Amino acid sequence: DAKTTQPNSMESNEEEPVHLPCNHSTISGTDYIHWYRQLPSQGPEYVIHGLTSNVNNRMASLAIAEDRKSSTLILHRATLRDAAVYYCILRTTGNNNDMRFGAGTRLTVKP
């Protein structure tokens, strides 16, 4: 069973910011929050990850709630190439190091 819940789909307009939410209410202290995306006909690709603090990289920003039970992936200016399925998953530092994906959020970007 996936440990995260995400909306099935979201829509955005090109050039506008997109906030993709993820709930992980059962997160433990050793779980890292990872985000991946899968473009059509491609394998998943890494986007960003974090533990407690907000994170920024060239692709996106990750905002983590203070209680860590939810997080938000922020695309600052959506482009048509950002249309993909976005997955939020947890990875633990414990012995159970598996990476199980849920259904993700399908993002549609309208021109």
Number of C-beta neighbours around residue 43 at 10 A = 7
Q: Of the ranges 4-12, 21-29, 30-38, 74-82, which one interacts with other proteins (CB under 8 A)?
A: 30-38
Separation CA 109–CA 104 (nearest Å): 16
Q: How far is the CB of 28 from other proteins (least distance, A)?
A: 13
Separation CA 109–CA 111 (nearest Å): 7
Binding-site size, other proteins (CB under 8 A): 23
Residue 93 binds other proteins, judged by CB under 8 A: yes
Q: What b-and-e string marks burial along 58-75, b requiring 16 or more CB atoms within 10 Å of the CB?
A: eebbbbbeeebebbbbeb
Contact residue for other proteins among 8, 40, 98, 111 (CB under 8 A): 98
Residue 86 binds other proteins, judged by CB under 8 A: no
Residue 87 binds other proteins, judged by CB under 8 A: yes
The 36-75 site mask, x for binding other proteins (CB under 8 A), equals x-x---xxxxx--x--------------------------
Antiparallel, parallel or unpaired: β 31-38 and 84-92: antiparallel
